[in-house]
Amino acid sequence: MKHVGENVVRIEAAALQVLADRIAGPMAAAFNRAVELLYGCSGRVVVTGMGKSGIIARKIAATLNSTGTPALFMHPVEAVHGDLGMVVRGDAVVALSASGETEEILRLLATLKRLQVPLIAMTCDEIYAESAERSVRAIHATRSTLAEAAEVALDCSVAAEACSLGLAPTASTTSMLALGDALAMALAEKRGFKEEDFANLHPGGKLGKRLARVESLMHTGDAVPRVTPRTTMPDVIYEMSRKKLGVTAVVDNEKLVGVISDGDLRRLLELRGKDALDLVAGECMTRNPRTIAGNEFAATALALMEEKKITSLAVVDESGKLEGIVHLHDLWGTEMV
């Protein structure tokens, strides 16, 4: 049984290698044309497919959505019973069909043509093949109905399915999925999709926690320990003890001018003894402390804390106004600590 499993993976891996070579070679122009069509789409990308291809279509739509391209899945059977109304001018359709002759998909073509919606087909037609005689790549003259009807036809053909009977969609659906991922990633790259864009689309779950912003985790308002440069040290100690963050910000007209930490207090007491209590915050604070902006990632805050061996950071805006304090403990829930 382990050899069966191994063979399945090897067959599918080989199919992906052939697909990659096809995208790099004979299908390069068609692939780039598909990317341009989807990039220029002013509406949504509607992905459709039947059976196993439909399951792959759902995943492709989900990947497009999560990487900045608005998309939805349309079931072809439901479409001919009313759901085709979800397709409007300005949309683009990506249709998946291994044979290119899936009846439920072909029934959509007339309406799609009437709406003048661009159609990208993903089929296993073997549209592109290398001529053994001339060592050049040629387009097959006979193509499926779906591939013929499409503005762009993309080839997901495989030498064989990984199923021992050669029947169950395995290598072909893997190739379809990989081709969908390739389109989505090429689109994301073309759109200039960045890490912060990804974070905005993934606010929930473990991924959302890891991409959390400082402003969503920091202490704000009355929870922020703050004193002025003229605050006496007994009052500084009281403020730090009351807010329980092990640090206090020193502000002057709402602007951060320094911080005093537990470590600063210990070093001051070692150096000055009880005379330290006669000083004011402005004489004891660390000037020009390390700060961070609220729109930075929590991961950036953690990296700064580790670099400087500190447990908290003051959060300020562009003018230096104090907005909050983020503590190492606040990062525990992000699963980074």
- Specify the 3-state DSSP secondary structure of 253: coil
| Structure tokens given for 35 | 């990317």
User: Residue 207's pLDDT band (boundaries 50, 70, 90)?
Assistant: low
pLDDT surpassing 50 at residue 137: no
**Up-side HSE of residue 140: CA atoms within 13 Å toward CB?**
15
The pLDDT of residue 228 is 96
| 2-49 pLDDT, tens digit each | 788 999 999 999 999 999 999 999 999 999 999 999 999 999 999 999
- Tell me, rounded to whole angstroms, the distance of Cα 296 from its chain centroid: 16
Across 119-123, 255-259, 300-304, least confident range: 300-304
Please check whether residue 37 is in contact with residue 152, taking contact to mean a CB–CB distance below 8 angstroms: yes
Band of pLDDT at residue 186, cut at 50, 70 and 90: very high
| Distances from the Cα of 36 to the Cα of 120, 183, 194, 204, 288, angstroms | 11, 10, 19, 31, 49
**Mean pLDDT to the nearest integer, 221-236:** 94
Q: Note the pTM of the prediction, 2 decimals.
A: 0.69
